[in-house]
Amino acid sequence: MTGLSVAASAAIVSAAGLHRIMHERRSIRRYRADPVGRDVLDRLFLSAAMAPSAHNRQPWRYLVVEDAAEKQALARAMGERLDADRRRDGDAADAIARDVARSYARITGAPVVILVCLTLEEADVYPDGARAQAEFLMAVQSTAMATQNLLLGAHAEGLAACWMCAPLFCADVVRASLDVPAHWQPQGLVTLGVAADQGRDRPRKPLPAFVRYMSEPHAT
């Protein structure tokens, strides 16, 4: 056992059930005010941690923000950086204002905001840039896999979530706003809660667009 309660692990998920969870999950960006219990959050993180990771170093780290004032301060600081960056890009003021307001609403409107980070504290150290980059990418890949577990687990729990990439663009702002441990590198935010809408169906590419079999199918 890895921390799941007997009750939680007793539900055997069939292949069809698991595929259904993967197919049904949607990014949801608006939430009801209902809080999310710590028991549910712990289950999600324990399942996240069952993801494979390079050398089993488990580089993912999660900072959970539930306090309204902390979410507001984070959203405000991120919005200010977005505003400054977009002004420098020469974007229209009303379009910038809309995006800043939307980002603020998403972060402050989510009962739970999870800062997704990675750490290289336990990563192998190489003298050359190419291998150091590969080691870093393995940590990114492992952290993404863990976070996908979290997103699927959330859906299976009847919750909704959405990954936001913004912290990648303003890691210093996120650090200044939240008490992020020094070795934790911000990768994204996951907003989490009970869905206030159904989201949108985003079409996926057909199989031949992204899979190429190197040989003919085996006779069955």
Ligand X SMILES: Cc1cc2nc3c(=O)[nH]c(=O)nc-3n(C[C@H](O)[C@H](O)[C@H](O)COP(=O)(O)O)c2cc1C
Q: How far is residue 164's CA from residue 186's CA, in Å, rounded to a whole number?
A: 11
Q: Is 155 in the site for ligand X (CB under 6 A)?
A: no
Which range of residues in 78-86, 111-119, 160-168, 211-219 is near ligand X by CB under 6 A? 160-168
Q: How far is residue 100's CA from residue 108's CA, in Å, rounded to a whole number?
A: 12
Q: Is 165 in the site for ligand X (CB under 6 A)?
A: yes
* Tokens (6 digits) for 206: 């057909």
CB 48 within 8 A of CB 153: yes
Q: Is 199 in the site for ligand X (CB under 6 A)?
A: yes
Between 156 and 162, CB nearer to ligand X: 162
Between 41 and 190, CB nearer to ligand X: 190
Q: Is 163 in the site for ligand X (CB under 6 A)?
A: yes
Q: Is 61 in the site for ligand X (CB under 6 A)?
A: no
Q: How far is residue 38's CA from residue 196's CA, in Å, rounded to a whole number?
A: 21
Q: How far is residue 219's CA from residue 66's CA, in Å, rounded to a whole number?
A: 54
DSSP letter at 110 equals S
Interaction residues for ligand X, span 8-47 (CB under 6 A): 26-27, 29
- Which residues are at the interface with ligand X (CB under 6 A)? 26-27, 29, 162-166, 199, 202
